[in-house]
Amino acid sequence: MKYFTALIHRDDDSAYGLTFPDLPGCFAAAEDWAGIPAAAAEALDLWFEDMPDTEPASLDEIRSREDVKAEMAAGAVLMPVPYIAADTALARANISLERGLLRAIDETAKARGMTRSSFIASATRRELLGTS
């Protein structure tokens, strides 16, 4: 999993703005702080739909940029954002779970109209990325 650095800023009475200094044109907005992870994940997914895979710049590289220094002087903050590259190919995995946990997964998945696999994948993605 890669981590890209987001530059987060907010003017009074506005949404949070997110940009990724090492990904030109990648930006997002979130109404509140809690919405930042989901907005950032969506922005990265959209950006990588049309752009080639790239390695994230280091935090030191980001911090040394003059435009980032200016934003931070004005109150912006940096945040690492995890990115899981889209790869829709399925892979089998053999995992072991407590029986009670497996029953709870199956019951919840069924109630939501999901398969066990899709439920586990969704819960894992939410845990890794902090999104819902």
In this prediction, residue 122 carries a pLDDT of: 86
pLDDT score recorded for residue 79: 94
Residue 22 shares a structural domain with residue 72? yes
The whole-angstrom separation of Cα 44 and Cα 126 is 15
Low-confidence ranges of the chain (pLDDT < 70): 131-132
Query: Around Cβ 26, how many Cβ atoms within 10 Å?
Result: 19
For the chain, the C-alpha Rg in angstroms (whole number) is 18
Prediction pTM value: 0.75
Reported as a single tens digit per residue, the pLDDT across 7-21 is 999 877 889 999 999
Q: Are residues 49 and 70 in the same domain?
A: yes
What are the φ/ψ torsions at residue 94 (nearest 5 degrees)?
A: -105, 115
Range of the domain at 51: 1-87
Q: Number of structural domains, the chain?
A: 2
Q: How far is 15 from 29, CA to CA, in rounded Å?
A: 6
Domain harbouring 70, CATH code: 3.30.160.250
Determine the straight-line distance between the first and last CA of the chain, rounded to whole angstroms.
Answer: 18
What pLDDT was estimated at residue 124?
87
State whether 17 and 77 are in the same domain.
yes
